[in-house]
Amino acid sequence: MKAQLNATMDLAIVGYGRMGQQVAQLATAHGYAITHAINDRASLDAAHFAGHELAMVFTPPAACVPALRVLAERGISAVVGTTGWYNHLGAVERLVKDAGTGLLWSANFSVGVHLFWRALRHVAHTMHAANDYDVYGYEAHHQHKVDAPSGTALRTADILLDKLPHKTQLVTALPERALHPHELHWSSIRGGSVPGTHAVVFDSPFDSLELRHTARSPTGFAEGALAAAAWLQGRTGCYSMDAFMNATFFHEKQFCESP
């Protein structure tokens, strides 16, 4: 299952780290023009946009909202892969609306991860009635990843907390005591060159069920980000990756789901 990419698209990369470089490399392979590779606020302020570019934003969390403000003021739509800024989502939605631009955000642009989340919603709803099963999660990433848990892990945990009423609190560092039944434990592993693995385990005294997504390379994330950018072209307003998935793969009504 693969989204169609536009034949032409000019992109500005804002946040030229590992992910920004991966997207730029793949975009060039698809024949897209990279008009800017921006890695600091001064370069963003000094950038001369033609007005038709679309920005791919992979800044550190603290720099994200200021960068989105500059882009909106310049009339530039954006696809945002930065996490850790979602408590400002309402303010960013107002910026985008006032500017008449478009914005699409996601903690993870992998199409497979979004299929994983969709499946997890159904599985968690089913497992709610199975009282013998406890649930926990884990994730593994390369040694260079700076956040733990990952944004994808936190999104996965949110789905579980939403679908399993008996789980009400996420625990990411084990306390010096046994866990309480209402606590959902998530563990993070960092090392080597692991692109990303996320798993949810339903465990009982009798057996265990595991739902897991394993990325083979960062290319899947970059492909998804570019497909989302192609879809956003010509649209105004704020969208989650769910809107892209629903419209592109499931032909459902678009919506903007909160993180």
Marked catalytic residue, from 88, 128, 142, 145: 145
Does residue 141 have an active-site annotation? yes
Residue 128 per-residue DSSP state? T
Q: What is the DSSP string of 17-79?
A: SHHHHHHHHHHHHTT-EEEEEE-SHHHHHH----S--EEEE---HHHHHHHHHHHHHTT-EEE
Marked catalytic residue, from 36, 114, 141, 185: 141
d(CA 13, CA 29): 15
Does residue 182 have an active-site annotation? no
Half-sphere exposure of residue 232: CA atoms within 13 angstroms, side-chain side: 32
Half-sphere exposure of residue 230: CA atoms within 13 angstroms, side-chain side: 20
- Please name the amino acid found at residue 187: S
- The closest alpha carbon to 54, from 22, 8, 91, 2, belongs to 8
Torsion sign over Cα 191, 22, 153, 126: negative
Which residue numbers are catalytic? 141, 145
